[in-house]
Amino acid sequence: MQFNLTLDNRLEIESSIVSLRGVSPVLNGVVLDDARVEVIANDATRIELRFTAPALGNGVFGFEIVREDKARAWSRYWLEGFTGTLDSFGLGFARVENLRAYLRNGYHSWDGSFYIEPEADRTRNETGYAMTQLLPRHGEGSVVIGFDRHTRFQQTFVFDARHVPASLTIQTWWDRKPPTGRCESERLVFFEHAQVEEGLREWARLVAQASPTPPRKAEPITGWCSWYNLYAYINEENILTHLRGVEKIARQEKFPMRVFQIDDGFTPEMGDWLEVKPQFPRGMKPLLDDIRAAGFIPGLWIAPFMVGNRSRLYREHPDWVVRERERDAPLAHWKLYSEFRWHKRSEEYYILDTTHPDAFEYLRRVFRTWRCEWGCEYFKTDFMFWGAEYGPERARWHHEGMTRIEIWRRVAEMIREEIGDALWLGCGCPLWASVGLVDGIRIGFDVGVEWRGIWSAQSLLRDAATRNFANHILWQADPDCILLRERFHHLTDAQQRSLALYAGMLGGVTMTSDALDELSPERLRLWKLLLAPGTAHLPFLGQADPALVLVRAGDPSAVLIFNTSDAPLERTYTFAALGIPNARYVYDWTNKTLQVCKTARVSVTLAPHDSALLFISDKPITQTPERLP
């Protein structure tokens, strides 16, 4: 990777993979094409530029890029002397050349991550967050561009496909934070990598190194969650019934299931977290004690930033919610005016204003009570992005002057302080601001009982592949609960088995909601297989292929080939391409057949939505593998 200046002092970042040309400063979303540039430094290791423009007033925009080695460079940008309103600032690249596809990296659990080909839709503008990856039209490898720290600012990457070639705008959201002389971005890294997923892993490792709180390294999170079986229709009786069933089968089959978690449905309204519905007559502490006595880590669900308009919290403290800036009314992030009201009475849901000292201390008391008095040891915190969704252009907080991420991070650090070493799963959660605080994080939308639709398999198929790279580097990736039950869903056997294998092969959080004592021996065999700890990689990530391939290295190695398309397909892979050199023996776990390969490759033919789980080794496979490597 090389960087240099053109005759008119415009920066170019040259790569054999993808190149970026024509840098300009960006202020509040507007590229300052009329900016004048002054070269402060220009040598083999460093370029520094200063820009002035009418929109900057008497201010100056600065930019620096420093070479670390032949493949990597670091940069920063800053504003000095700017006295206007500052929502955001950053860099604009007029041309991204040799670009086939880029990674649109989502902001939170449900905000998807996927590759986009600009030529497929020239009307499409996409905003990604924290980083992006550029894949070349000609050649192999990738270029990664991303920030290393995420505890102060939200950072966006916008590709404009209306330009040919596409343009790229990178911004830091300052959120009108009072300037202290110099407004400076976090460090921005540019690097080449010969591979796609491993390039993303390299960025994840840089984020881990830069995080002020190192990523947590908990044991794999496995267990049972009430939501996808009972949903909000829970009471003490049916929770205890499922507990007895899970305890019996887990002991009988020696399943390494650690957690038993009660999801939403035990509190009357969002925000009233210290009240319990009458369906739980003993309260939560005795029930959590029962779970602990059965040998599991007891867990509860909470949405700490949500406040229902019918809650006691809002009735008694209406000043504890974030307000609309323009009309001075509660900011209603969610409006449920029809028959579905989330099993509550509230028609509107507001955001807890955690900059209000009394609201912040209330939330602290909730987590302290749940942890110290109720005995909760596993916290599933949901709708977490609500606390960082809005900036000051839309929202008015009790205490102004912090960025949306600083507000969110202050709450998240308090939660970790109060729950101590308890396990924490962030759901609907900012992915990168959570590093070092959560143990696991949801990486897609809710699972469902359909192949297509809002609550279906599609988010898992799209988002898990492009977020797998951070698994066990920044947190444990949670693909959501694995559907095991044989009834009460709209999936075929092949779809259900394929989805279960895919989610389980990823090797992150592994949970189910199904009644284990109602499952057939074959489904229990599948669940046992998936509970084995380990991690997988996707050797063909970034290729526009409906065949998803996951590989877990070991002896034998496990390979899942999943046809996500609506038509039959055939695929042939060399063992070398799968990263399993010198292999000869292939055991097909799905069809229970053994093959000796003489050509160092394997071929499969798959029906729509079907898959093949193969165990591949250089040694004879003499017995059926019952667990993943």
Instruction: List, by residue number, the catalytic residues.
Output: 382, 446
- In order of 191, 261, 337, 437, the CA distances from 246 in angstroms are 48, 12, 38, 29
- From the list 225, 212, 202, the residue with the least C-alpha distance to 440 is 225
Rounded distance, CA 558 to CA 625, Å? 10
The three-state secondary structure class of 405 is: helix
Consecutive H or E run containing 412:
helix 404-419
Cis peptide before 556 (omega within 30 of 0): yes
**Sign of the torsion angle spanned by Cα atoms 401, 407, 409, 411:** positive
Consecutive H or E run containing 228:
helix 227-230
Consecutive H or E run containing 190:
strand 188-193
CA angle 406, 407, 412 (to 5 degrees): 90
CA angle 165, 166, 169 (to 5 degrees): 140
Q: How many Cβ atoms from other residues are within 10 Å of residue 240's Cβ? A: 14
Give Cβ neighbours of residue 282 (< 8 Å, ≥ 6 apart).
Answer: 236
* Strand-pair partners of 612: 561
- Starting at the edge strand found earlier in the chain, the sheet holding 423-426 runs 476-478, 440-442, 423-426, 378-381, 297-302, 259-262, 222-225, 510-512
Phi, psi of 372 (to 5 degrees): -90, -35
Q: Which amino acid is at 217?
A: K
**Sign of the torsion angle spanned by Cα atoms 172, 177, 182, 186:** negative
